[in-house]
Each structure stands twice: as C-alpha cells, then as structure tokens.
Amino acid sequence: MTKKAIFDFLERERAMPARIPLQLRRDGDWGELYGRFGEDEAKHQAGRCLDCGNPYCSWGCPLHNRIPQWLELAREGRIIEAAALCHETNPLPEICGRVCPQDRLCEGSCTLNDGFGAVTIGAVEKYIVDAALAQGWTPDLSQAPATGKRVAIVGAGPAGLACADRLARAGIAATVFDRYEKIGGLLHFGIPTFKLERAVLDQRHGVLAGMGVQFRLGMEVGRDVSMQSLLDDFDAVFLGIGSYRYTDGRLPGQELHNVLPALPFLVQNGRIVIGDDTEGRAIAGWEDQIALPDLKGRRVVVLGGGDTGMDCVRSAIRLGAAGVQCVYRRDEANMPGSAREVANAREEGVEFLFNRQPLALLGEGSVSAVRVAETRLGEPDARGRRNAEVVAGSESELEADVVIIAFGFQPDPPDGLAAHGIQAEANGRIRVGSALPYQTSNPKVFAGGDGVRGADLVVTAVQEGRDAAAGIATLLNGMQLAKTD
C-alpha cells in the first residue's frame, strides 16, 4: 500500500487518456475517441482525489457511486477490490465510464473542478473495470442462493440489463427479451462506436450470462411472445422499453428527400460501421433500415442540441461531409448535451448556430435549405428553462444538402398494456409509483428507464433498473436489497 500525498492535485494536473488524432477522426476513424489509462496514469489521476468529507461527486451521480473509495483503491493498485466496489452501486460501470456526461455529473460536482481541474473520474472508472475484467474478475454470487423465482425483462437496454444484474445478485432468475439480435438497445444500435465500442457490450453480455441471466434476443414481445404469456410464466415482469418515438417538430418540408430522422440515421450507420448492414425493423413509425445518402462533400445541417444531435454531427464529420452545422434554439449555456461532446464536435469542425429556431425545410424534391429565425431567451417554462422566443424580422436561410432532425424522443409503449392493468400517462410514459419502487398499476409489473421518464441519460436508466430490481426482490422474496445511496 502506498502513502497518499495530501496535495497530489497541486503536483499533478488533470489529464485525460490520449485521444485519436484529429485528422484521423476527420478521415473516418470510428474507434473510441479516448484511449485507456495505463496503470501509472490511472494511479496518478486517482491520487488527485481530496477524499472530501462530503463527497460531492457521489451526490452528483444518479447512482451515488462510492467514488472516493474506489479511486483510493485504484491508487493503491487494488483493482479487483475497486471493480467489486464499482459494481456495488453500478451494474454497468465500464459503460457509464465511457458514455456518461461526467462534466455535468460527478466531475462537474468535484471540489477540484473550481480552479484545479476535476479528478478524471470517468476515465479511471473505465480503467478499473476494463483491467479487472481482463484479469478474469467476475461478480461474486456466493451469497445469492437461488430462490426459485423467475422474472421476465422486456428490453435489453441499460435499464433492463441493470435490473437483470441486481436480480441475479438476489438469487432471482432473469430472462431478458429484446427484439434486436444484440444486447444494449440504443447503446448498441444508437450510440456511435467512437463513444462506445461494441466489444464492450459483448463483454458485458458474457458477464451477465455467466451470472445466470438468460437472453431471448430477436424476440419481440407482442409479436413473438405475448405479454400475457410472460405474466403467466414468470413471477414478475420488468418493462425497460426505452423511448423510440421521435419528437415531431412538424416542420413544413420535412417530407423532402434527404431529410433524415436522427435515430434511423444513427442505427443504420452504426450497423454499417460494425459490418452488420442487415435488414432493420420499424421504430415508432420510422424505418431504422433507411437508404443513407452519401455525405461526402455535402452540406449537412443537424437540428437539435442534445447528445443525440452531437452523435449526428460527429458522425457526419466522419462520413466526409464538406460542412456540418448544428442549429439550436437556445444559447450554448442551455444546451442539454454534454459540454465535452460539444467541445469535441467543435474541434472536429462542426459549426454551432445558437439562438436559431428552424421554421421550414425548403427544396424541390430534395432539401436544399433550412429557413431559420433568430431567438432570444424569454421567461422560464414549467421546468425552469427559459423559452426561446423568435425575433421578428430575423429570418434567414441555411444551405443544406442533407438535414438530420434530432429533436429528441418520447416513449411509445406497446399496444395492449392497458388490457393488463398497466396505466400510462397522457404523454405515453408508463405510470409507476405504487406500493414498491417502480411498480406499475399492475402489482406484478415494474418499469423503469426512458419508458418511464422519457429520453434521458444512460446512467438514469441504469439507476431505475437497479432500483426497480430492489422492488421486485421485496415483492418476491420479502427481502430488501442493500441500499446504495
């Protein structure tokens, strides 16, 4: 065990793992942007932690990860113990270490973020779990004897996978159903490989299978298996169905050729990148198997400033677009996406047009321009965000060969849930909050993730899947899983 210097943060600056060179990204390199820390680098960065008496980083994380504790274990080189501690609160730590907006959450809350540079929490988390798995670490289930209870999980996205992990740790057999042929949901088919390499998901699939989780992939509930059969055959059901229905801005001209919805664009391009250009299936009214236009040398405009929009603009750069513009109706400070993702996009050549409201798409047959108007921020809306108000007489046109619409997504629950006593809100979100955490109006059915709260972060879906499993364990076993907050 090495002795920690109290003022390591003064001697060592914040550092991130080396990145793929800019020119390679512009030339179409789809590998993960950030590399991996070596052992010494990880120890040095972990050693910058102040081990605050009130760990703001932990409170800034929806999972309330025990960040100072596993940073100290990493600094001491106790990687297996660090990985086990990571997994106590986070069923998918190596994934969150890659895709979480740490700048808005744990690192944004770090005491050192004000003047010295936050501890590189996400990159150390990624190092811990990658290193432990490479050494053969697997979750210890010796204290989880089989209960004989069985749960069906609908959806192999982050909420469903997190729920399966926690059920396995409670001795409850989990079977995961998903219409796609790979686990991950939009982790696999929506998030570009420059943020999350698919081998990471394949590895997590193996870990979960080793824990006894069964997968029924390529099986869609409502088509290949009925909801009623799940209710009949299993002791409980968890719905982690995500949000796939795009937010329709109802822009005039959005039916023009080369106007693409963000999700099918990302899904289909992701399939091509990983060499799996197979026939897709319909997603909420759009076809996820679409004919992608050649973006080389073309002008691309992306409408929307969230993380999906950032995935689109950065993908367009790698696909050889001559110019990529991102149009967002508020200012940069109010963008919902990660500031780090915005910085990466800007470095790669994306032009941001803030305070612009799209009004219409123009063209004859194919899109040729986007009509926009300038905006100013007005009074806050119901959520406290200031509304974007159009400035009269400020209209202009942006030339565009391809337009990608990334206004966000809403839940689109499958038909027939009401027939099983599962109520939904007016906006389509599944209603939860009965006697147990994430229990629906059908006491045998639980739900969590984007299908409950609307499109949100991966880490919040993981948190809801994890906590729903605690409710299921209470229902089935009369037991309470260890609290993680």
- Confidence (pLDDT) at 11: 83
276's tokens: 């799996």
pLDDT tops 70 at residue 480: no
Segment 418-438 mean pLDDT: 90
**In the chain, % of residues over pLDDT 70:** 94
DSSP SS3 for 396: strand
Integer CA distances (angstroms), 363 to 248, 252, 368, 370, in order: 19, 11, 5, 9
Which of these, 270, 283, 243, 186, lies nearest to 424 by C-alpha position? 243
Say what the pLDDT of residue 280 is: 44
* Residue 10 pLDDT class (50, 70, 90 cuts): confident
More confident residue, 374 or 414: 374
Tell whether the torsion through CA atoms of 395, 399, 403 and 408 is positive or negative: negative
Report the C-alpha gap between 456 and 93 in whole angstroms: 17
Contacts with 3 (C-beta within 8 Å, 6 or more apart), sequence order: none
Q: What is the pLDDT of residue 434?
A: 76
For 340, the token pair is: 């780090």
Q: Which residues pair with 48 in a beta bridge?
A: none
Distance CA 271, CA 453 (A): 27
Q: What whole-number distance in Å separates Cα of residue 320 and Cα of residue 299? A: 10
Q: Which residues contact 73 (CB under 8 A, 6 or more apart)?
A: 79, 81, 82, 85, 128
Q: Please determine, for residue 426, whether its predicted confidence score (pLDDT) is greater than 90.
A: no
* CA–CA gap between residue 254 and residue 367 (Å, rounded): 8
Residues 433-437 have a mean pLDDT of 86
Q: Look at residue 309 in the predicted model and tell me its pLDDT.
A: 95
pLDDT at 4: 63
> Nearest to residue 221, comparing CAs of 415, 12, 15?
415
b/e burial code for range 45-62 (CB count within 10 A of at least 16 → b): bbbbbbeeeebebbebbb
* 293-302 per-position pLDDT tens digit: 999 999 999 9
How far is the C-alpha of 359 from the C-alpha of 252, rounded, in Å?
Answer: 8
Q: How far apart are CA 250 and CA 83, in angstroms?
A: 47
Mean pLDDT, residues 368-391: 90
Q: What is the pLDDT of residue 479?
A: 58
Query: Is residue 283 predicted with pLDDT exceeding 50?
Result: no
Residue 220 corresponds to which tokens in the numbers above?
């869609």
Residue range 436-470, pLDDT digits in tens = 999 999 999 999 999 999 889 999 999 999 999 99
289 pLDDT more than 70: no
Residue among 229, 206, 212 nearest 175 (CA): 212
Q: What Rg value do the Cα atoms of the chain yield, rounded?
A: 23
- pLDDT-derived band at 108, boundaries 50, 70, 90: very high
Label the pairing between strands 236-239 and 150-154: parallel
C-alpha angle 377-378-381 in degrees, rounded to nearest 5: 110
Contacts of 426 (CB under 8 A, 6+ apart): none
From residue 426, how far is each of 354, 437, 452 by CA, in Å? 32, 21, 12
pLDDT classification of 277: cutoffs 50, 70, 90: low
Domains and CATH numbers, the chain: 8-134 (1.10.1060.10), 150-244+410-477 (3.50.50.60), 248-407 (3.50.50.60)
The dihedral sign for the CA sequence 57, 62, 64, 69: negative
At residue 279 the predicted structure's pLDDT band, cuts being 50, 70 and 90, is very low
Q: Which of 9-13, 52-56, 384-388, 479-483 has the lowest mean pLDDT?
A: 479-483
Residues 49-74 have pLDDT tens digits of 998 888 999 999 999 999 999 999 99
- Which of 73-82, 115-124, 263-272 shows the lowest mean pLDDT across its residues? 263-272
Contact indicator for 467, 448 with CB cutoff of 8 Å: yes
Q: What does pTM read for this prediction?
A: 0.93
- Quote the pLDDT of residue 281: 45
**The pLDDT of residue 87:** 98
Lowest mean pLDDT among 86-90, 218-222, 253-257, 276-280: 276-280
Residue 307: count of CB within 10 angstroms of its CB: 23
Q: Which of 337-341, 356-360, 375-379 has the highest mean pLDDT?
A: 356-360
Per-residue pLDDT at 212 exceeds 80: yes
Q: How far apart are CA 92 and CA 276, in angstroms?
A: 24
Q: Which residues lie across from 261 on neighbouring strands?
A: 405
Q: What is the pLDDT of residue 67?
A: 98
399: tokens are 């030339």
Provide the 8-state DSSP code for 334. G
Sequential DSSP letters for 266-278: HHHHHHHHTT---
What mean pLDDT do residues 198-215 have? 97
Rounded-to-integer distance, Cα 83 and Cα 321, Å: 41
Tokens 């729903």 found at: 468
Residue 5 confidence class, pLDDT cut points 50, 70, 90: low
| Half-sphere exposure of residue 152: CA atoms within 13 angstroms, side-chain side | 24
The whole-number average pLDDT for the span 69-96 is 98
**Within 13 Å, how many C-alpha atoms sit on residue 189's CB side?**
28
